[in-house]
């Protein structure tokens, strides 16, 4: 038996132990699993599309201090999540973890909060593409870029992502692999261009760490905290490595590394890129006051034609990011619907016989993401005095939704461990050892802190939207799902001990001599 066949058989048996059949095509390697999270994080999307937000509130010091600060805490969150992915390798990820560690109702709420965040991140990413692409297209075709043309461009971009995800995971995986290298390549070209071809000399390095300057009406320390949205939103979506875990070979090792390394590499390459962009600024006030600060800085530094070429390269990277985000979102909905957690679950859990993809879930992801932008568009048209930006609204919704969903299973694991229900034998081959509780506690503190920061003015609209969604969730739960949600197959045994016992029975009573639920590397 070949090594690949051996892994496929073990991975299939591992999934069976949690009550699921191998329906999705398991063809992703370790790099592909890393690449999907790296592409969704996309330093050429989050850091770029919210560059003006960060510069306006925190000045150049936002890039020098804000980016590393956020990255440090996000790596802690990612490490805690990676540990859980290694222990419980199912596509339901966050909500399966919560269901097993506590109960199905905790899992249900985790799933829905995650879905809210997923809607926000897909909408935010593809809207970012349109914010950059539409003005560039307007220069080519001679029309005026408006909120209406940006919305139309947004819809077309979503459509292309829906079609490619429908066709198959192999195509998307190849795009993701290419996307990871493409992101690194574009960052390298951009940095080299700014370093050697920028008009005029670069600012001195200490400019990157200049604090105290804000172009908002807020006190600097408060403004700096608001500006953290730039980095915090960039570092979202790395749970994609867990959502595609049933399509990954040797997932208990490869998916955790995909989660953690996607954040670590994004931090390094993102910091280098932001440093050179910021050191290229000629007039920070003019950049902050422009329609798009990043476009303004690049055009001022590199000139019209060269600047446009670089911006088109950035747009392509954003497009790859959106493609990956639809993949992650649809797998989450597929897994949740498979467990009857959504209205019309049977439809969203259906797998295309031809393409082996959750086709209907993919198109639902596209529709919901477009609706979020459409609702915001209607609100702004009805209230011309509205001051919030569409991209800040979407990104704040995604940050809070995703990070609260990240935090719930981390907290539940710590509680279960304190109660003796989660022990070292339940860990997978990727774990944090004696530092697990410390890192988990730091992750929870950061998630609470950042969730508050993301919904205070001027992002209060995101807070209102999230509050409305939570009220709707509670109503859905009390009126129907409290009695009718069966819970994931992975949690039917209700305890880690029962899952471990079932595994030993299936393996002929042998514990395998290692740690973790399945003892598979």
Q: How confident is the model at residue 518 (pLDDT cuts 50, 70, 90)?
A: very low
Residue 456 pLDDT > 50, yes or no?
yes
**% of residues, the chain, pLDDT over 70:** 88
Chain centroid to CA 211 = 29
* Closest to 368 in 3D by CA, of 469, 460, 447, 238: 469
> Residue 132: its pLDDT value, please?
93
Q: What is the mean pLDDT of residues 248-259?
A: 91
**SS3 (DSSP) at 178:** helix
Taking domain 31-485, whether its CATH number is 3.40.50.10490 is answered by no
More confident residue, 318 or 385: 318
Q: What is the mean pLDDT of the chain?
A: 87
H-helix segments, 280-358: 284-289, 293-302, 304-338, 345-348
What are the two backbone dihedrals, phi and then psi, of residue 336, each rounded to the nearest 5 degrees?
A: -70, -40
> Strand, helix or coil at 248?
strand
Flag whether pLDDT at 371 surpasses 70.
yes
The position carrying tokens 């997932």 is: 251
Task: Please state the rounded mean pLDDT for residues 512-516.
Answer: 34
Could you tell me the CA-to-CA distances from 164 to 50, 151, 180, 248, 469 in Å, in that order?
27, 21, 18, 19, 30
Dihedral over Cα of 296, 300, 302, 303: its sign: positive
Report d(CA 430, CA 409) in Å as an integer.
17
Region of residue 42 (phi > 0: left; psi between -120 and 50: alpha; otherwise: beta): left
Q: pLDDT of 44-56, one tens digit each?
A: 998 999 999 999 9
Band of the pLDDT at 64, cuts 50, 70, 90? very high
Chain-centre distance for alpha carbon 393:
16
Give me the helices (H) in 454-487, please. Answer: 460-476, 482-484
pLDDT band at 220 (very low <50, low <70, confident <90, very high): very high
Task: Give, for 221, the enclosing helix (H) or strand (E).
Answer: helix 220-227
**What are 272-284's pLDDT values in tens digits?**
999 999 999 999 9
517, pLDDT greater than 60: no
> Which of 486, 474, 395, 365 lies closest to 113, judged by CA?
474
Contact between 92 and 333 under an 8 Å Cβ cutoff? The reply is no
Residue 272's CB is within 10 A of a number of other CB atoms, namely: 15
Q: Which of the four pLDDT bands, split at 50, 70 and 90, describes residue 514?
A: very low
Query: Which burial class, exposed, middle or buried, applies to 15 when counting CB atoms under 10 A from its CB (0-12, 13-18, 19+)?
Result: buried
């Amino acid at each position: 038996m070949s090594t690949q066949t051996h892994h496929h058989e073990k991975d299939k048996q591992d999934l069976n132990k949690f009550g699921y059949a191998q329906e999705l095509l398991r063809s992703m390697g370790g790099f592909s699993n890393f690449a999907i999270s790296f592409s969704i994080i996309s330093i050429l999307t989050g850091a770029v599309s919210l560059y003006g937000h960060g510069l306006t509130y925190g000045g150049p010091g936002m890039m020098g201090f804000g980016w590393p600060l956020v990255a440090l805490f996000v790596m802690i969150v990612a490490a805690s999540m990676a540990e859980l992915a290694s222990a419980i390798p199912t596509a339901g990820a966050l909500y399966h973890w919560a269901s097993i560690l506590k109960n199905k109702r905790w899992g249900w709420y985790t799933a829905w909060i995650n879905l809210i965040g997923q809607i926000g991140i897909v909408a935010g990413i593809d809207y970012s593409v349109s914010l950059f692409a539409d003005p560039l297209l307007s220069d080519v075709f001679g029309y005026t870029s408006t909120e209406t043309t940006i919305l139309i461009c947004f819809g077309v971009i979503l459509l292309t992502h829906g079609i490619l995800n429908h066709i198959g995971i192999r195509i998307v995986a190849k795009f993701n692999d290419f996307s990871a290298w493409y992101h690194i390549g574009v960052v390298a070209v951009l940095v080299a261009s700014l370093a050697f071809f920028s008009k005029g000399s670069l600012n001195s390095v200490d400019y990157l760490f200049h604090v105290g300057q804000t172009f908002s009406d807020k006190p600097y320390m408060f403004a700096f905290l608001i500006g953290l949205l730039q980095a915090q939103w960039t570092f979202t979506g790395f749970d994609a490595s867990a959502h595609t875990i049933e399509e990954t070979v040797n997932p208990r090792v490869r998916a955790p590394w995909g989660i953690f390394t996607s954040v670590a590499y994004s931090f390094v390459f993102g910091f280098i890129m932001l440093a050179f962009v910021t050191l290229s600024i000629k007039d920070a006030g003019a950049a902050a006051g422009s329609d798009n600060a990043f476009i303004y800085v690049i055009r001022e530094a590199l000139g019209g034609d060269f600047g446009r070429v670089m911006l088109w390269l950035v747009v392509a990277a954003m497009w790859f990011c959106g493609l990956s985000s639809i993949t992650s979102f649809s797998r989450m909905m597929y897994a949740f619907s498979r467990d009857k957690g959504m209205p019309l679950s049977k439809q969203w859990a259906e797998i295309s016989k031809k393409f082996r993809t959750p086709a209907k879930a993919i198109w639902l992801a596209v529709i919901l993401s477009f609706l979020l932008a459409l609702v915001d568009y209607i609100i702004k048209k009805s209230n011309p005095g509205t001051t919030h930006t569409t991209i800040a609204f979407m990104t704040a919704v995604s940050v809070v939704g995703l990070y609260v969903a990240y935090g719930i299973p981390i907290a539940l694991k710590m509680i279960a461990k304190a109660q003796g229900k989660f022990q070292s034998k339940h860990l997978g081959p990727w774990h944090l050892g004696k530092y697990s509780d410390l890192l988990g506690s730091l992750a929870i503190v950061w998630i609470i802190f950042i969730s508050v920061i993301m919904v205070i003015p001027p992002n209060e609209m995101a807070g209102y939207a999230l509050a409305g969604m939570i009220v709707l969730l509670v109503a859905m739960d009390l009126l129907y799902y409290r009695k009718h949600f069966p819970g994931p197959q992975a949690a039917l045994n209700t305890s880690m001990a029962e899952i471990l016992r079932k595994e030993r029975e299936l393996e002929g009573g042998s514990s395998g001599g290692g740690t973790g639920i399945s003892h598979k590397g």
